[in-house]
Structures are given as structure tokens and as C-alpha cells.
Amino acid sequence: MAHTIGIGIGAGLVSALLFGVLLKATPLAILLYLLAPLPILIVGLGWNHRASLAAAVSGSLALVLVVAPFLGLAFGAYIALPAWWLAYLAMLGRETASGLEWYPTGRLLGWIAATAALAFIAIAVLSSPDHAAFERQLRGLAHTLVQARDPAGRPTPPTRPADRPDGEAAQGDAGAPDASPAEVTRGEVADALARTVPAFAANGLALLLTFYLWAAARIVKISGRLPRPWPDIPSTAMPRTTLGVLAVAAALSFAPGYAGVLGVALVGSLCAAFALQGLAAFHDRSRGRPGRGLMLFGMYLILFVTQGIALVALTLFGLADTALDRRRRKDPAAP
């Protein structure tokens, strides 16, 4: 037990170091930061969840004591605890009459989406406990992005009185000029973008967490320490209850304060999960078909060329796959 905890503490310190180098703000530092969850996931999958919990706690404490309290709390909420939780779920199993039954990958995918949304809310509350201040930050970011995207859309100069048609009223000449239609449109776009930022952020985090869990499992499997047999990933299918969770999240997104932000983030992360299920369903349904390799190559090429726009189609495919429930085997009820 002490040996396992010691391994977890070492992994936590490595993960904290990878996270802390982000302060250097160099390309290499960003690359190392992206690897931060892997040590915690690896000890959780290769040893046990106590080792990964020790890694999460030790890494957070190291950053709190050595660097800054906020950085340690951010590491714990955004990196360490989500990695520990997913490793814990992946290693859950129960004894049945037919042998050991492991936690279904479909339910695990649903929990990845929920974990991503909760992690985003945690880091948002830590960075800005006041929701109004958080909203102003999002709007500022959105306006900056829109301005960078459309620099030519600057407001037009006001019309001089001499240029106006005869008889036109000159009211407001003494005051500030009204915003041009282009400026108003850019403002509306920026406000709409600010409302959807949590969805996009949680969507990307859900995709990253899925990749991290897969990569850590592959590493542990290669080492020979993975106790769970490698699952049939193309057969992954989330339970229909996730459709109800999506509906609740959509309704919650209209709530005020951070409750509404959580709803928006959960909608985004669930869309990522449904897109991944759509991808798995495509792999599953194409098994045994002639030209399967060419079909898969074409699909991934479209995903790359469209810069993720095709993920919308995969999301709809995943939603339909969950609702129709035609691929699922009639197994005993999951715990």
C-alpha cells in the first residue's frame, strides 16, 4: 500500500510540474502542459484509484505551497480530480455469474461529458467568483475575437451636415454619432459568441479527456499492467438517459448565473460525447463491408478538411444512434 501511494505521489509531482511550466508561455511549455493529466491517469489505470487520488492531492498541494494557491486549486479542479475520477470509473467492475463485468464504455463516455462540464464550471468559479465579472470577461474575449476576425468592420465615420440631403434634420449633431449597422451586427455576433463560449470550451475538454483516457490506457496496456481487457470501442453506446440529461441541460442553460453556464457547458460536452458515439457507430456499422478502409479514410479526411464542421453530422448520427438503440446487445441491466 505504501509503495503504491509513493508511486502516486511521484506521478502527482510530475503532473504538477508539467502543469506549472505553462507559466513559461512557450510552445514547448504548452505542449508539456497538455501532457499533465497522463501521469495521474496512468497510475490510476495501472495501479489503483488510491494511487491516482494520492497523485491528485500531492500535485495540487505542491503547486499551492511552491507556486501559488490559485494555481494549485486550478490544477486540482481542472486536471487532477477529473483524471482521478475517470480512472476510478474505468476500473470499476462487479462479479457476475458469467465473470467480472467492467464498467460499460458507453456510461464512461457519458461521465466524460459530465466531468468536462463540471471541470469548466469549477475553473470558472475559481477564476471569477462573481458571475457578472465572468460574463464581462467572456464578452470582452468575444468582442476581441470578432474584431480580429473582421477588422474591416470598423464603424463608419458620421455624415457631415453638408453631405446630407436638404431638409434632413440635424438632430444629434452635437452628440455622439449613432453606431453603424456593421458595428451593431458585430456587437450582436460577439454577444452570441460570448454565450456559447462555455459550450465550445467544454466540448473541446470532453474530446481531450477522451483522448487522454484512451492514450493512458494504451500506455498501461503496453506495459502489461492494465487489469481490464481492452474493450470493443466501436460498440460504445451511451444509455438513453443521456438524451434526458441533454434536455435538462438545454433547459438549465436559460437559468441565470453559473447555473445557466453549467447548462451551456453540459450541452457542449454532451455534443462532443454524441459526436464520438457517432464516430464509433460509423466504425461499427462499416465492419465487414467492402471498401471499409476507404470509407473510414474519406470520413477522417472530411473531418480534417472541414476543420470539425462535420462533427455536427456525427453528433446528429450519435443522437440518432442513442435514440434508436439498434446496435446495443440485450445485456443484463448495468448497475
Average pLDDT over residues 124-145: 85
Return the closest-CA partner of residue 22 out of 34, 37, 38, 12.
34
| Contact call for residues 64 and 73 (beta carbons, < 8 A) | yes
Does 196 have pLDDT greater than 70? Answer: yes
Longest Cα–Cα distance of the chain, Å, equals 92
What CA–CA distance (Å, rounded) separates 234 from 237? 9
- Confidence (pLDDT) at 148: 66
Task: Give the number of residues written for the chain.
Answer: 335
Return the closest-CA partner of residue 204 out of 133, 288, 117.
117
Does 236 have pLDDT greater than 60? Answer: yes
Q: What is the pLDDT of residues 73-131, one digit of tens each?
A: 999 999 999 999 999 999 998 888 878 889 999 999 999 999 999 999 999 999 889 88
What CA–CA distance (Å, rounded) separates 184 from 137? 20
**Torsion of the alpha carbons at 28, 34, 38 and 39, rounded to the nearest 10:** 50
